[in-house]
Amino acid sequence: MTSDSWKIRISGLTKRFESRGMQVKALEDISLEVPDGRFYSLVGPSGCGKTTLLRIVGALERHTEGQVLIRQSGTETAGAKDSSPSGSLSPLTSMVFQDQSVFPWMTVRDNIAFGLKARGIPRKVRHAKADEFIRKIGLSGFEQALPHQLSGGMKQRVSVARAFANDPEILLMDEPFGALDEQNRLVLQEELLRIWEETRKTVLFVTHSIDEAILLSDRIVVMSARPGRILEIIDVDLPRPRQVEAVRAHSQFGELFSRIWHLLRQQEEASHLPAAAEGGAG
């Protein structure tokens, strides 16, 4: 699909890692376009390069071949290749990781306002913005709390709130709920849905959970075992606003789940074949 409103445009991307003289091909011939304001998820077997792809889009990693273009505030930036100096995350991109990346010495409010402070936003404005997202993510009353006074789920809420409070144009989320128990995970998924539906940021979201990908996404990118290639891009045409129970009860849910699971199971099976049949590294 090509459109004029893309935020992320990847064409023919390949990534090879080299360590101790060994080459590992992590990604092969990836072409993907993420339009403005859409929620895309990446699913695929462990080690297929999901995190690597996210890091390349975030300019935290360089790529080997192909092209990555990011469009922010009307300006297009090309991702750097292996031979270039390493880049850094644009202030217009936010990233959320699996491990709660909160600063232990900062209050909840200061953690959430951190990116705004780095951008020179006045104190009053950034506190108002932080408080808005504290409310939205269900942390009211904990503005002055320090991370050690919070549960794991609450710390992850702080990370998600910080990412949205930054008002990024692109949000990259790498298994943000992967370390949470089922109950916290469900609550945070619903909160993410609510905030996303209000803000409509462009999101690229990595998950191991098919349920989670269906619940959240407009489209799901299913990747092959390493080297990661795109097997299929699946539309999720479920109505929004969405809620966990309604999505799971929807007639299309089972169909989508089976289709994705079928693709992933084939990859799992292929990855258990002897190394020679896999094509080897590099």
Ligand X SMILES: Nc1ncnc2c1ncn2[C@@H]1O[C@H](COP(=O)(O)OP(=O)(O)OP(=O)(O)O)[C@@H](O)[C@H]1O
Report in angstroms how near the CB of residue 46 gets to ligand X at its nearest: 3
Q: Kindly tell me which residue out of 24, 69, 145, 187 binds ligand X, with binding defined by CB under 6 A.
A: 24
* Binding flag, residue 57, ligand X (CB under 6 A): no
Cβ density class 64-93: b for 16+ within 10 Å, e for less = bebebebbbeeeeeebbeeeeeeeeebebb
The pair of structure tokens assigned to 191 is 């909160």
* Binding flag, residue 236, ligand X (CB under 6 A): no
User: Which residues between 4 and 23 bind ligand X (CB under 6 A)?
Assistant: 17, 19
* Binding flag, residue 210, ligand X (CB under 6 A): no
User: Which residues between 188 and 207 bind ligand X (CB under 6 A)?
Assistant: none
CB closer to ligand X, 3 vs 83: 83
Q: Kindly tell me which residue out of 6, 35, 43, 49 binds ligand X, with binding defined by CB under 6 A.
A: 49
Report in angstroms how near the CB of residue 98 gets to ligand X at its nearest: 9
Report in angstroms how near the CB of residue 87 gets to ligand X at its nearest: 15
* Binding flag, residue 183, ligand X (CB under 6 A): no
Residue numbers at the binding site for ligand X (CB under 6 A)? 17, 19, 24, 26, 44, 46-52, 226
